[in-house]
Amino acid sequence: MTKVHNYSAGPCILPQEVLKQASEAVINFNNLNLSILEISHRSKDFIEVMDNAIALVKELLNVPSGYSVLFLQGGASLGFYISAINVMKKDGKGAYLDTGVWSAKAIKEAKRLGSVEVIASSKDKNYNSIPKSFEVPGDADYLHYTSNNTIYGTQFKTVPQSSIPLICDMSSDIFSKEIDVSKYDMIYAGAQKNMGPAGTTLYIVKDELLGKTGRDIPSMLDLQVHIEKESMFNTPPVYPIYVSMLNLQWLKKNGGVKWIEGINNQKAELLYAEIDRNPLFKGIVEKEDRSNMNVTFVLTDESKSEAFDAAWKAANISGIKGHRSAGGYRASMYNALPLESVQALVDVMQAFEKTNG
Ligand SMILES: *Cc1c(COP(=O)(O)O)cnc(C)c1O
């Protein structure tokens, strides 16, 4: 098989050994001579998978006591609404930082439930930076932000100061670097950016945050229901949870979040250094807000795009075309993307400079 350098923005690249284990379990899971796809989610073998996955999340992120870990469905896109309906009081208000397309979608869903205050936005700058000065209203029920702007390529380098409960959509940088979970009241993340395949959504929620809205919450959206049923209120997405568990095992075995953070920093430094050095390219976001996960850049001369596209395709690079709303290029460097793949892209950029500079 030819090695493809997979820069997909999501669903993301997964480690080869995880894919191999995952494929074997489709045929014969745990030597049961049954597929993981055809056994009960209440069987001992699957309950062990769920327990393992939850334990790995707690261990890898140092989740303190008093928090619950859930694997639910609906993607982060349902998380926008779930996070709001579980925390915004009946006549209450949510505060939001608007740093990109996903933040804006979270705001849109919260508005269905009540009052929303957008306390800062970088929309007028085409989301090329992270707002630094904002005041968090003390009378809001929570502050919501998106830690990594997957589409435009910006990332919060510090956790926003907040005196009210803090909720974070961490879909595209969870498990990429060490975090202090105790600073958050709720974290949610669609699996398919940096944790596993599409189909499950991780929630890490402080138990005491819940049950205070005075709302009648539909069971499937009620985090207290899911906590009580240990993510088994209905049939959970068994396979995405299983593959996420394998991927978290891979992360743990290799040295955990601290280990991958070091590699992610190396990857980002390598590619940003080339973007800044090479006169044929330039970055599109403020340097201090650059994302380590999604690196966005453009050609300084758009007319060279056909030649550049041919060059990276010839080097077996896949998935660096920018998002349709941002244009240019986006190199997504999630955990499983090796440093050598970044070197392959940098080599292409350097060779391109020689032939087209
Ligand atoms: C991809 C993404 C989403 C949407 O996730 P789905 O699982 O497709 O609903 C939300 N937020 C962020 C930051 C994302 O990157």
Q: What is the pLDDT of residues 130-139, one digit of tens each?
A: 999 999 999 9
Is 111 catalytic? The answer is no
What's the whole-number mean pLDDT along residues 142-157?
A: 97
What pLDDT is recorded for position 319?
95
The CB of 100 under 6 Å from ligand 1? The reply is no
- Indicate whether 179 pLDDT > 80: yes
Range of weakest confidence among 2-6, 87-91, 254-258: 2-6
Give the active site residue among 169, 185, 222, 289. Answer: 169
Ligand 1 geometric centre to CA of 129 (Å): 19
Please give the pLDDT value at position 221.
Answer: 98
Name every residue whose Cβ is closer than 8 Å to that of residue 37 and which is 6 or more positions away in sequence. Answer: 26, 238, 239
- Residue nearest atom 14 in ligand 1 by C-alpha distance: 171
CATH topology classification for 16-254: Aspartate Aminotransferase; domain 2 (3.40.640)
Tens digit of pLDDT for each residue in 7-33? 999 999 999 999 999 999 999 999 999
Task: Tell me: is residue 83 an annotated ligand-binding position.
Answer: no
Mean pLDDT score, 322-346:
94
Residue 150 in marked binding region: yes
pLDDT of residue 167: 98
Task: Break the chain into its structural domains and give their ranges.
Answer: 16-254, 256-356
Distance from residue 226's CA to the centre of ligand 1 (Å): 21
Ligand 1: nearest atom to the Cα of 75: 7
Ligand 1 centroid to Cα of residue 113, in Å, is 20
Q: Is the CB of 332 under 6 A from ligand 1?
A: no
- pLDDT tens-digit series, residues 304-316: 999 999 999 999 9
Residue 3 confidence (pLDDT): 84
Q: What topology does CATH give the domain 256-356?
A: Aspartate Aminotransferase, domain 1 (3.90.1150)
Known catalytic residue at 304:
no
Mutate to test the pocket of ligand 1, among 107, 145, 150 (most ligand atoms within 8 A of CB): 150
Tell me: is residue 172 an annotated ligand-binding position. Answer: no
The band of 326, judged by pLDDT with boundaries at 50, 70 and 90, is confident
Mean pLDDT, rounded, for 300-305: 95
139 has catalytic annotation: no
Q: Per-residue pLDDT for 1 more than 90?
A: no
Atom of ligand 1 nearest to the CA of 170: 13
pLDDT in tens, 39-58: 999 999 999 999 999 999 99
- Summarize the confidence of residues 275-289 as an average pLDDT: 98
Confirm whether residue 42 is marked as ligand binding: yes
pLDDT band at 324 (very low <50, low <70, confident <90, very high): confident
Is the pLDDT at 2 greater than 80, yes or no?
Answer: no
- Strands of 329-332's sheet in order across: 281-283, 294-299, 329-332
Q: Whose CA is nearest to atom 13 of ligand 1?
A: 171
